Chain A
Amino acid sequence: MKKIITVTALVLCMVFAVIGCSAPAAEESTAAPSESASTEASASTEATASASTEASGEAISGSVQMSGSTSMETIANALKEAFMAQYPDVSVDVQLGGSSVGVQDAQSGKSDIGNVSRELKDDETGLVANTIAIDGIAVIVHPDNKVTEITSEDLVKVYTGEIKNWKDLGGDDQPIVVIGREASSGTRGAFEELLKIEDQCQYAQELNETGAVKTAVSATPAAIGYVSLEALDDTVTALKVDGAEATEEAIKAGDYPLSRPFIMATKEGELRPEVQAFLDFVMGEEGQAVVADNKLITIS
């Protein structure tokens, strides 16, 4: 009798498994209409939303071409997605190549927007520099460290291995443990680019997350590390760099050296409506919310 029950149970299991496999297909067909209904509904709410933001209320369509900085890839794609969710008829395309490529493409008209992750140089004319966000990097040490400020020259020496002991910076006699991020990190790219020490750093630890850098620095008394400004908390101490505190205010005042603007450069003169709509979106509340989500300083 036991055997009969076992076999029946087993067969039932198999039958259910088969039903389980085939069921989704059936559900899909029934679910499909309701799904399209819901997208329609959301589309209509989007339409009203865009109508409220756009005074003219006309539907915008077309395409926006962006190219340039690889550091801005993440934020550009995030903004693109948020924008296209609201304006489904506009397609936004993000190409990479570096800040200088962004400038050239915007000048030549190859792209509508050139992404530039530095200030525009004096000879890069004919462009409007629309700063959409600011990227700031804090230099952090263990809370017990006596050193509270550092010059950018000394920072270069620490990261290139020229200065190896905290006593050379006015701290205790202990060897500096240089902590940084992995090679493809945007924070590392920005840090090395701002100090002009690309590919020259001698790291003791390369960690793959902002949180990991913070934990390592807070656990190692002799450590120095860098994180994006938004990640700061009281487990670590942020050093003053060249006398300026690592704060949004100091960055906006232009005193703090480890920061750079994210610029979406456009050609001078009238822009196509879809490009203008994109820029308005980026500068507006929703775009800046995306900026804040991506751990960047907003421009407002």
Chain B
Amino acid sequence: MNASMTIIGGRKSKTILERTMKGIFIGCGLFAIIAVLIITIYMIVSGAPAMFTIGLKDFLFGTEWAPTAADPKFGILPMILTSLVGTGLTILIGVPIALMAAVFVSEVAHKKVAGVVKPAIELLAGIPSVVYGLLGMIILVPQISKLEALLYANDPAHIFTGGANLLSGIIVLTIMILPTVVNISITSLKAVPQEYKEASLAMGATKMQTIFKVQIPAAKSGIITGIVLGIGRALGEAMAIILVSGNVANMPALFSSVRFLTTGIVSEMSYASGLHREALFSIGLVLFIFIMVINVTLNTLLKKEAAANEK
């Protein structure tokens, strides 16, 4: 063994090793920052010009998207609203289910049952998103189609989507965010000190009271982190929902064919050219800003909360 490479070497060789390792660590740390910087700069450089060519107001608040028409229109308001409504409803439905599932696995279920449920949920996270989309298209969409036919049987103005609509998209997204939120919630519930639970039970609280009044509040910051990641996943997902949401740039309604910001980019990028292509980059920039704003806002709120708790 080369003596100069071991930690029992002399002071000089040790210093060299220390310095090299420090340099390597700095390099690796910088790598992430550089990647984020390059992506940000690239998004702005390639996305901003089209926004101003089209006009910021026409682009962000225009309600019509017809990029290849004789008189092209580049309004992305329907996509923005669809992404917001879709993600919002997904979180609204998905988070309670995920939280209850996490409580079930970590507190209520018998150890053996939890031992089956937990890996199953973890496995859910590993399934590629396009598989969710395919299954949704083949299993879920026909059922939603029947529901739609039932609800709108006597409505001549309704454009039938055949089940590919916002509702299907939300259901698929809800299933997709479950593992993210569940796993992080389980971890944070398990991290709540055992004494809290014991104290609460000793004071005469029931098991459910203990879970809802003591353990969940104590695990709050972890659970919120899970929700933030879930929002990120729902807002950024494209492959799964492109197959089940119809992909026509309409205003969001449960039984309307809709297009999300992500699917707007994915579906048209392959053949687009000129201003149309640039406009797709601009959609990317809008999505990027959305996710950044949500992350930064929620993280700041979380930190404030944590600081308040420590006082």
Contacts and interface: CB of A to CB of B under 8 A. Distances in A.
Interface of A: 3-4, 7-8, 10-11, 14, 161, 164, 174-179, 182-186, 189, 198-199, 202-208, 212, 215-216, 219-220, 222-223
B149 A206 contact: no
B164 interface: yes
A212 B243 contact: yes
Given A184-B68, A189-B68, A220-B145, A164 B271 contact: no
B268 A183 contact: yes
Contact of A177 (B6, B162, B270): B162
A220 B163 contact: yes
Interface centre among A8, A10, A205, A216 (most CB of B within 10 A): A205
Given A4-B8, A8-B5, A182 B268 contact: yes
7 contacts: A8-B2, A14-B24, A177-B161, A183-B268, A183-B276, A184-B276, A204-B246
A204 B24 contact: no
A220 B69 CA distance: 29
B68 A7 contact: no
B71 to A, nearest CB: 8
B100 interface: no
B272 interface: yes
B232 interface: no
B164 A7 contact: no
Contacts of A189: 68
Contacts of A10: 21
Interface magnitude class on chain B? 35 or more
Interface string B243-271: 10011100000000101000000111011
B141 interface: yes
A175 B160 contact: yes
Contact of A204 (B7, B161, B268, B276): B161
A11 B17 contact: yes
Contacts of B149: 174-175
A203 B162 contact: no
B138 A219 contact: yes
Interface centre among B7, B164, B273 (most CB of A within 10 A): B164
B66 A183 contact: yes
B236 interface: no
B70 interface: yes
A155 to B, nearest CB: 17
Given A184-B276, A205-B257, A219-B137, 12 more contacts: A3-B7, A164-B156, A178-B159, A184-B271, A202-B159, A204-B162, A205-B161, A205-B246, A215-B138, A216-B162, A220-B163, A223-B162
A220 B247 CA distance: 16
Given A199-B69, A204-B164, A204-B248, A186 B137 contact: no
Where chain B touches its partner, the secondary structure class is loop
B248 A199 contact: no
Contacts of A182: 247, 267-268, 271
B156 A199 contact: no
Nearest to A180: B248
B243 A176 contact: no
Given A184-B271, A223-B162, A208 B248 contact: no
Contacts of A220: 141-142, 145, 162-163
Contacts of A198: 69-70
A178 B68 CA distance: 19
A236 B153 CA distance: 26
Contact of B162 (A179, A199, A212): A179
Given A205-B257, A216-B137, A8 B162 contact: no
Contacts of B17: 7, 11
A222 B276 contact: no
Nearest to A200: B69
A177 B160 contact: yes
Nearest to A217: B162
Interface centre among B149, B160, B276 (most CB of A within 10 A): B160
A161 B69 contact: no
A199 B68 CA distance: 8
B305 to A, nearest CB: 39
Contacts of A8: 1-2, 5-6
Contacts of B138: 215, 219
A200 to B, nearest CB: 10
Contacts of A223: 162
B67 interface: yes
B79 interface: no
B166 interface: no
A206 B246 contact: yes
A176 B267 CA distance: 23
Contacts of B176: none
B247 A206 contact: yes
Contact of B164 (A11, A175, A205): A205
9 closest Cβ contacts across the A-B interface?
Answer: A177-B162, A175-B160, A208-B267, A184-B271, A220-B162, A199-B69, A205-B246, A183-B68, A182-B267
Nearest to A222: B162
A206 B267 contact: yes
B181 interface: no
B172 interface: no
A162 B291 CA distance: 41
Contacts of A184: 67-68, 268, 270-273, 276
A212 to B, nearest CB: 7
Interface string B130-169: 0000000110011001000100100010111111100000
Given A174-B149, A208-B242, A215-B137, A199 B7 contact: no
Nearest to A17: B24
